[in-house]
Structure 1
Amino acid sequence: MNIDIHYTFLPHIDAEASLAFYRDALGFEVRRDVGYGDMRWITVGPVGSATSIVLRPPVVDPGVTDAEKQVVLDLIAKGSYGAVTLATDDLDALFDKLVAAGADVISEPADQDYGVRDCAFRDPAGNLLRINQK
Structure 2
Amino acid sequence: MHSPVPQRRRVVLSTVSSDSHTWNLVFLQLLLQELGHEVVNLGPCVPDDLVVAAVREHRPHAVVISSVNGHGHLDGVRLARALRAHPDTRDVPAVIGGKLGVAGADDGAMAAELIAAGFDRVFIDAGELDALTGYLAMLPARDRLQVTGAR
Verify same fold: TM over 0.5. no
TM-score (norm 2): 0.28
Answer 1 or 2: which has greater strand percent.
Answer: 1
The structure having more radius of gyration, on CA atoms, is 1
TM-score (norm 1): 0.30
